[in-house]
């Protein structure tokens, strides 16, 4: 036993005093030895490759090797003297000290014994992969990839490095890069001692993604902190362009819980422009170069659905492993690459996500723009915040000393060299980049809003111009002219009461769903299809089905543009609708999400692209051909079939069986049966796979015949807007009688009370999704007193109405 302990201690000592260790010899506990990046690669090679996750092999120089080099060369004293003069807030001082520190290291040769260890390890790698094998040489600091400080991109990376001499040169440059301007600044901000941090170098077999694609993925939604989604970005070529924001990549969103149940829940596929790709500079003077991507490739997604699902599953597996190792939930930030020669996928880096995982879970903070103005630029919103100030357009990193604290930084893209000023910005706006690029990651970490991928920000925004940068309205962010008023609201969630009455939400915009799900709720009482059709599809379903017969040339052109990726244009409708509803259903899963089938009026349908050709002209569309009456009609039933296909995909393929379908404007029980029969033709059979179908209670006939409607449908949702309109006999679109419209009218209240009483007597659920309880607290009180099962509210009314309902229930 004693001998075993001695052997273990000797082995441990030998590792600590080694210049080089193979990745397979290290694990996550070895961050002090080989830095976060290399420790993580070793951990994955040992623990996750048996699960089928691909990780390229390699080796790492150790922290001991770095310190040995510094000590043998007598560099610490000279470096400390340099840093004694440093003012990290002065960009010019930072630049000069960094330059001198790097020069000191580069001018000092490696000791022979360190060179020999690196050469021996590289030759061993070549024995496995081939002579002069191509490798990536990456820096990995011992204060790196920590849960509260990513240190992402602070030191250098060199790709497509060949041969002994190339590897030694790249390792030497990596050692020097511990003193890049950005790394010095970042350590100072995070409170790390420059001389306590050591640098390890990882030498890893290259994945030939220059011939395929690569990108970044997170096991959490980066903007909202929603834990159940994996976000994947992808572009062609080597991954540096995605990381640095040089390209606008594709984005894919996958729902983790049902993925792990065997379903295929791709919630969103967003095509990026992917204008350039980084490839090997074969025969050239550089290691890599950027080349243009062909228009045909740009119009295609960089990944297949199977590859998207594989990567998402790996994100789940990696997150689960690191959460287990650390003993607490650990969302992950992961870099992946696809080999263009073998077609295999690989993970090349994985680190803890450092923003959402550190956010307070019991505090709900929201930003609201109180006034809108002229929109100067739009792009991908990063951070659900609002910032403002004078714009500073900077196109060259060497001019960052011009930047003043509190300004809005406007540039093409950022990389780690920009970080010394990014922390001083009130907001960041870039022409290029996606949600996982450098600017996005640093903005989140610094707690400032950013809009990336605007394409034209540097040309439409002028230095000195006052602007407001809003990321508070979903996935698209806006840069507004002027300093617009906004409000920040904070609500502590731990002391909110629970109510007997279910508190649901009305949600139309899928882009806001993940964020809204953080508000205390019991599900969604109304998810409207109309928003998705009008904003994300834009075309009339029959115009897509009969594209070749379209008479409107402009509509044909616009639809062709919208559906460029689709041979079958009807599939575009099904895809977009399924993605939109799927995202809302996933955000609130497994809580119920009531999805109302389309309820456009004929004049609204006519306004969709190509719609006028297929819609009648009605004198009063509000009480005309809408809702249920369209679904089984020969003039529209094939359009309704597309809705059914999309909903079947959400429930059957994505596994989101929490979706409850709801039929609007259903005039008679017999009409309800005809709609159910039409749905069944397309695989939506009431009762199968737990499918429930509700009906809107918004017509006097729904109230008068509530007992008969109860024999057809599983539940009711009161639409107070239409019920008020039709009870009082006024057109709610008419300004002439608008002053008479009031849901609190006694006639309306009696109708509501009767509907609730009848539904409950029939053992059916009944809720309300109309506007009234959001606008009038007294109406919400009335509903609770009548014994309603659920109240669905506009998101901004949920918390105040919840408190009101709790008071009523107390008596």
Coil/strand/helix, residue 206: coil
| Dihedral over alpha carbons 110, 112, 113, 119 (to 10 degrees) | 80
Do 135 and 203 touch, CB atoms closer than 8 A? yes
* Cross-sheet strand order for the sheet of 332-338: 266-270, 250-255, 229-236, 213-218, 332-338, 345-352
**Calpha distance 788→753 (Å, rounded):** 9
Phi, psi of 709 (to 5 degrees): -60, -30
Cβ neighbours for 406, distance < 8 A, ≥ 6 positions apart: 389, 390, 424, 425, 426
CB 333 within 8 A of CB 371: no
Residues assigned a catalytic role: 438, 769
CA 381 vs CA 222, 439, 470, 723: distances in Å: 11, 11, 8, 38
Which of 366, 370, 418, 423 lies closest to 395, judged by CA? 418
Q: What is the 3-state secondary structure (H, E, C) of 406-447?
A: CCEEEECCCCHHHHHHHCCCCEEEECCCCCCCHHHHHHHHHC
- Cα radius of gyration rounded to whole Å, the chain: 30
Can you say whether residue 15 is alpha, beta or left, with left for phi > 0 and alpha for psi between -120 and 50 degrees? alpha
Which residue is listed with tokens 């000791």?
111
Helix axes 112-129 and 63-72, enclosed angle (nearest 10): 150
Alpha-carbon distance of 424 to 417, in angstroms, equals 14
List strand residue ranges (DSSP E) for 108-237, in order. 135-141, 157-161, 199-205, 213-218, 229-236
Between the CA of residue 669 and those of 633, 706, 766, what are the distances in Å? 16, 9, 17
Report how far residue 118's alpha carbon sits from residue 66's, in angstroms, rounded to the nearest whole number: 12
Residue 807 CA to residue 809 CA, distance in Å, equals 5
Within a 10 A sphere around the Cβ of 124, how many other Cβ atoms? 12
Identify the burial level of 567 via C-beta atoms within 10 angstroms of its C-beta, where 0-12 means exposed, 13-18 middle and 19 or more buried: exposed
Strand partners, 452: 380
| Contact indicator for 142, 136 with CB cutoff of 8 Å | no
The dihedral formed by the CA atoms of 767, 771, 773 and 776, expressed in degrees to the nearest 10: -160
Q: DSSP 3-state helix, strand, coil percentages of the chain (rounded to 5)? A: 45, 20, 35
Nearest CA to 666 among 656, 648, 650, 678?
678
Half-sphere exposure of 158 (CA within 13 A, CB side): 21
How would you classify the pairing of strands 466-470 and 332-338? unpaired
Determine the angle formed by the axes of helices 720-728 and 746-761, rounding to 10 degrees: 120
Phi-psi region of 765 (alpha: psi -120 to 50; beta: other; left: phi over 0): beta
Element (H, E) at 557: helix 553-562
- Whether residue 629 contacts residue 665, with contact meaning beta carbons closer than 8 Å, is answered with yes
């Amino acid at each position: 036993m004693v001998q075993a302990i001695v052997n273990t201690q000797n082995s441990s000592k030998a590792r600590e005093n080694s210049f080089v260790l193979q990745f397979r010899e290290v694990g996550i506990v070895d961050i002090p030895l080989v830095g976060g990046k290399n420790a993580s690669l070793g951990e994955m090679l040992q623990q996750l490759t048996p699960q089928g996750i691909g990780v390229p092999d390699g080796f790492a120089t150790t922290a001991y090797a770095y310190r040995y080099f510094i000590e043998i060369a007598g560099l610490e004293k000279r470096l400390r003297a340099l840093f004694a003069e440093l003012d990290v807030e002065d960009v010019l001082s930072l630049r000069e000290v960094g330059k001198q520190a790097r020069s000191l290291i580069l001018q000092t040769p490696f000791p022979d014994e360190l060179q020999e260890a690196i050469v021996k390890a590289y030759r061993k790698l070549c024995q496995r992969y081939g002579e002069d094998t191509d490798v990536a040489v990456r820096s990995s600091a011992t204060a790196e990839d920590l849960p509260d400080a990513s240190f992402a991109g602070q030191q250098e990376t060199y790709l497509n490095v060949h041969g002994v001499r190339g590897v030694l040169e790249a390792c030497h440059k990596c050692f020097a890069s511990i003193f890049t301007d950005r790394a010095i600044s970042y350590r100072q901000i995070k409170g790390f001692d420059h001389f306590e941090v050591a640098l390890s170098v990882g030498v890893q077999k290259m994945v030939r993604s220059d011939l395929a694609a690569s990108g970044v993925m997170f096991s959490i939604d980066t903007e909202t902190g929603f834990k159940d989604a994996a976000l994947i970005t992808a572009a062609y070529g080597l991954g540096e362009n995605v990381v640095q924001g040089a390209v606008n990549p594709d984005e894919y969103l996958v729902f983790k819980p049902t993925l792990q149940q065997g379903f295929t829940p791709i919630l969103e596929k967003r095509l990026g422009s992917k204008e350039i790709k980084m490839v090997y500079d074969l025969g050239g003077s550089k290691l890599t170069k950027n080349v243009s991507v062909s228009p045909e490739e740009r119009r295609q997604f960089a990944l297949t659905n199977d590859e998207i699902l594989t990567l998402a599953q790996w994100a789940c597996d990696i997150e689960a492993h690191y959460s287990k190792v650390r003993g607490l939930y650990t969302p992950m930030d992961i870099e992946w690459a696809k080999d263009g020669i073998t077609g295999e996928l690989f993970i090349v880096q994985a680190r803890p996500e450092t923003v959402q995982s550190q956010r307070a879970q019991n505090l709900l903070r929201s930003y609201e723009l109180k006034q809108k103005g002229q929109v100067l630029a739009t792009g991908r919103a990063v951070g659900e915040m609002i910032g403002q100030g004078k714009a500073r357009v900077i196109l060259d990193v060497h001019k960052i000393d011009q930047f003043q604290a509190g300004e809005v930084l406007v540039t093409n893209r950022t990389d780690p060299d920009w970080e010394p000023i990014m922390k001083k910005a009130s907001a960041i706006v870039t022409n290029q980049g996606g949600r996982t690029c450098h600017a996005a990651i640093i903005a989140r970490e610094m707690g400032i809003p950013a809009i990336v991928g605007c394409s034209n920000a540097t040309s439409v925004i002028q230095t000195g111009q006052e602007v407001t940068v809003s990321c508070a309205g979903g996935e698209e962010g806006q840069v507004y002219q002027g300093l617009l008023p906004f409000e920040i609201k904070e609500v502590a969630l731990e002391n909110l009461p629970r109510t007997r009455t279910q508190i649901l939400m009305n949600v139309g915009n899928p882009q806001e769903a993940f964020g809204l799900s953080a508000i205390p709720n019991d599900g969604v009482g109304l998810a409207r299809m109309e928003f998705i059709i009008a904003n994300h599809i834009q075309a009339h379903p029959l115009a897509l089905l009969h594209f070749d017969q379209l008479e409107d040339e402009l509509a044909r052109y616009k639809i062709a543009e919208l559906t460029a990726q689709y041979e079958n244009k009807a599939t575009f409708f099904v895809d977009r609708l399924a993605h939109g509803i799927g995202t809302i259903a996933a955000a609130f899963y497994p809580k119920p999400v009531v999805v109302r089938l389309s309820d456009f009026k004929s004049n609204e349908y006519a306004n969709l692209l190509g719609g006028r050709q297929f819609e009648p002209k009605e004198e009063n569309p509000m009480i005309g051909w809408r809702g249920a009456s369209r679904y089984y009609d020969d003039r529209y039933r094939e359009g309704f079939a597309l809705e059914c296909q999309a909903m079947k995909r959400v429930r059957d393929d994505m596994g989101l069986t929490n979706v409850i379908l709801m039929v609007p404007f259903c005039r008679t029980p017999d009409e309800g049966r005809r709609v159910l029969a039409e749905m069944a033709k397309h695989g939506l059979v009431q009762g199968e796979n737990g499918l429930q179908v509700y009906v809107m209670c918004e017509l006097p006939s729904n109230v008068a015949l509530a007992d008969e409607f109860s024999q057809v449908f599983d539940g009711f949702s009161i639409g107070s807007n239409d019920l008020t309109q039709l009870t009082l006999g006024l057109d709610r679109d008419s300004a002439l009688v608008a002053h008479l419209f009031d849901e609190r009218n006694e006639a309306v209240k009696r109708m509501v009370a009767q509907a609730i009483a009848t539904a409950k007597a029939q053992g059916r659920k009944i809720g309300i999704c109309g506007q009234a309880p959001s606008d009038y607290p007294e109406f919400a009180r009335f509903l609770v007193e009548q014994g309603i099962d659920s109240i669905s509210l506009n998101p901004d009314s949920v918390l105040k109405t919840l408190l009101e309902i709790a008071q009523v229930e107390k008596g």
